[in-house]
């Protein structure tokens, strides 16, 4: 026969049911959550919430004006507003639920709660004034004293050197006028604004790049064509020989320098009879770039003979060859070949014009290292 006591407990558990309800929203803050600092307060301490007075026009939330206070004989706990606000902004929130053991119902508060971070204060230490942070001068003096007392010989020598390098402002008051006069006399020989502008223009003209326009508003205006290729040389360049060819191979063979992958690739595009209205201009540009590369290869050779240059560049007019010689070579200073020509001291100056006169619309943007391959 079963125990009637156990049967009654079983029957009671069978009839027990738990229900969850959400309490209606109201202006009562309800229970508050608190996070203690490093020490745990005694269980006998009681905490009380307080609310700050605010005007009726203030629309702030009631929960934001509440702070918690609790105390013992030695320590008091108060809400740390800054830390509590930081915890709320970081998303630290909790849902509070109340469980009724008698009915088995669980009631959830309608809104989440942010915890109050409490800070502790020892009552015996509240009357002691906090010492101010030492100033830079006080800190430096204490460091110097410590170094002179316990420092090594090297550290003491560094301290003495630092003391010698200090400037005594009070001692300088009587000699400041003489110092200013010396500065004014020394500045008489310095460049003025006008001289600085002239020096800037001279430096721009001596750069290893063609003359440029600093006031240009369009890319084509930065390096005007005839600042790189003189107008008389441009008019002397002829493209009639390309019109008589029938294949890319024949057109490439007419170039002074045909070993550049960049030039041959663009000649296949712009050398065709139906390549567009700018065909003649672009052919002249490719012809001039090819001439620059051929000229550079010729003058860099040890056995270079200036008399053979017109023969090697026979496809170019003499006025173009003479212009290249005058702009990109200089007289040699060698005693054995005083009249010979040599590559310009700034050898890279001969490579700058090809980058400035490339045909528009066909710039290699692939990052190929063989952009200009002599």
Place of tokens 């702030």: 60
Q: Which domain holds residue 266?
A: 219-356
Q: C-alpha angle with apex 124: 119 to 128, nearest 5 degrees?
A: 90
CA–CA dist 26, 42 (Å, integer)? 32
Same domain, 351 and 234: yes
Confidence (pLDDT) at 152: 92
For β-strands 116-122 and 34-35, DSSP reports them as parallel
Considering only 171-175, 203-207, 319-323, which range has the smallest mean pLDDT? 203-207
Q: Looking at the predicted structure, is the pLDDT value of residue 290 above 70?
A: yes
Residue range 190-223, pLDDT digits in tens: 656 555 677 777 776 666 677 777 787 887 777 7
- pLDDT, the chain, mean: 75
Quick one: average pLDDT of 248-277?
85
Domain for residue 211, yes or no? Answer: no
Quick one: average pLDDT of 117-132?
82
Quick one: average pLDDT of 243-249?
86
Q: How many residues does the chain have?
A: 374
Residue range 46-84, pLDDT digits in tens: 888 888 776 665 555 556 678 888 888 888 888 888 888
Domain for residue 37, yes or no? Answer: yes
Q: How many helices (H) and strands (E) does the chain have?
A: 16, 10
Domain for residue 264, yes or no? Answer: yes
Place of tokens 């507003």: 81
237's CB contacts (< 8 A; 6+ apart) are 284, 287, 288, 316, 317, 320
Of the three residues 70, 93, 125, the one that is the final residue of a domain is 125
Of the three residues 125, 158, 179, the one that is the final residue of a domain is 125
Q: Looking at the predicted structure, is the pLDDT value of residue 37 above 70?
A: yes
CA–CA dist 49, 44 (Å, integer)? 17
Quick one: average pLDDT of 33-38?
79
Confidence (pTM):
0.42
Q: Looking at the predicted structure, is the pLDDT value of residue 161 above 60?
A: yes
11's CB contacts (< 8 A; 6+ apart) are none
CA–CA dist 113, 30 (Å, integer)? 10
CA–CA dist 194, 201 (Å, integer)? 11
CA–CA dist 124, 237 (Å, integer)? 100
Domain count, the chain: 2
CA–CA dist 34, 36 (Å, integer)? 6
Domain for residue 47, yes or no? Answer: yes
Burial of 101-125, coded b for 16+ CB within 10 Å and e otherwise, reads eeeeeeeebeeebbbbbbebeeeee
Quick one: average pLDDT of 100-128?
85
Strand order of the sheet with strand 34-35?
Answer: 34-35, 116-122, 75-79, 66-71, 47-51
For β-strands 19-22 and 105-108, DSSP reports them as parallel
Of the three residues 91, 109, 125, the one that is the final residue of a domain is 125
Considering only 38-42, 89-93, 124-128, 316-320, which range has the smallest mean pLDDT? 38-42
Domain for residue 177, yes or no? Answer: no
Q: Looking at the predicted structure, is the pLDDT value of residue 11 above 70?
A: no
Quick one: average pLDDT of 114-138?
83
Place of tokens 């929203």: 25
Quick one: average pLDDT of 86-114?
84
Domain for residue 240, yes or no? Answer: yes
CA–CA dist 113, 49 (Å, integer)? 15
Quick one: average pLDDT of 271-286?
83
Q: Looking at the predicted structure, is the pLDDT value of residue 246 above 50?
A: yes
107's CB contacts (< 8 A; 6+ apart) are 20, 21, 22, 23, 97, 98, 100
Element (H, E) at 176: helix 176-186
Domain for residue 239, yes or no? Answer: yes
Same domain, 121 and 238: no
Q: In a 3-state reduction of DSSP, which class is residue 371?
A: coil
DSSP string, 251-277: HHHTSS----HHHHHHHHHHSSTTS-T
Say how many C-beta atoms besides its own lie within 10 A of residue 252's C-beta.
19
Residue 366: name the closest of 261, 243, 259 by CA: 261
Confidence (pLDDT) at 179: 81
**CB distance 34 to 116 below 8 Å:** yes
CA dihedral over 141, 146, 149, 151, signed as positive or negative: negative
Domain for residue 134, yes or no? Answer: no
Would you state the structure tokens that stand for residue 261, as one six-digit string?
């992958």
**CB distance 320 to 291 below 8 Å:** yes
For β-strands 341-343 and 329-331, DSSP reports them as antiparallel
pLDDT-based confidence at 371, cuts 50/70/90? very low
Quick one: average pLDDT of 290-300?
82
């Amino acid at each position: 026969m079963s125990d009637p006591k156990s049967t009654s407990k079983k029957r009671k558990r069978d009839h027990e049911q738990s229900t969850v309800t959400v309490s209606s929203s109201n202006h009562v803050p309800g229970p508050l959550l608190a996070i203690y600092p490093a020490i745990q307060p005694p269980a006998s301490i009681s905490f009380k919430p307080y609310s700050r007075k605010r005007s009726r026009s203030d629309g702030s939330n009631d929960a934001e004006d509440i702070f918690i206070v609790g105390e013992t004989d030695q320590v008091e706990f108060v809400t740390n507003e800054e830390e509590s606000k930081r915890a709320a902004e970081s998303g630290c929130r909790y849902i509070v639920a109340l469980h009724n053991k008698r009915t088995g119902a669980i009631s959830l508060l309608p809104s989440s709660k942010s915890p109050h971070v409490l800070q502790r204060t020892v009552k015996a230490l509240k009357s002691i004034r906090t010492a101010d942070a030492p100033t830079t001068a006080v800190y430096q003096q204490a460091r110097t004293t410590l170094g002179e007392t316990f420092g090594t010989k090297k550290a003491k020598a560094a301290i003495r050197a630092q003391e010698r390098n200090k400037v005594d402002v009070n001692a300088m008051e009587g000699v400041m006028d003489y110092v200013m006069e010396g500065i004014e006399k020394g500045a008489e020989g310095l460049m003025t604004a006008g001289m600085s502008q002239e020096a800037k223009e001279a430096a721009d003209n001596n750069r290893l790049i063609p003359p440029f326009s600093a006031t240009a508003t369009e890319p084509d205006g930065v390096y005007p064509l005839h600042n790189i290729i003189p107008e008389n040389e441009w008019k002397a360049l002829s493209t009639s020989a390309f019109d008589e060819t029938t294949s890319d191979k024949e057109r490439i063979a007419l170039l002074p320098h045909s070993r550049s992958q960049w030039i041959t690739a663009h000649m296949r595009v712009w050398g065709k009879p139906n390549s567009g209205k700018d065909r003649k201009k672009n052919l002249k540009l490719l012809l001039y770039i090819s001439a620059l590369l051929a000229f550079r290869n010729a003058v860099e050779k040890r056995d270079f003979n200036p008399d053979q240059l017109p023969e090697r560049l026979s496809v170019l007019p003499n006025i173009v060859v003479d212009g290249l010689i005058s702009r990109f070579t200089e007289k040699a200073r060698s005693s054995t070949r005083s009249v010979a020509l040599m590559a310009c001291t700034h050898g890279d100056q001969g490579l700058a014009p090809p980058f400035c006169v490339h045909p528009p619309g066909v710039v290699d943007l692939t990052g190929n290292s063989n952009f200009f391959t002599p």
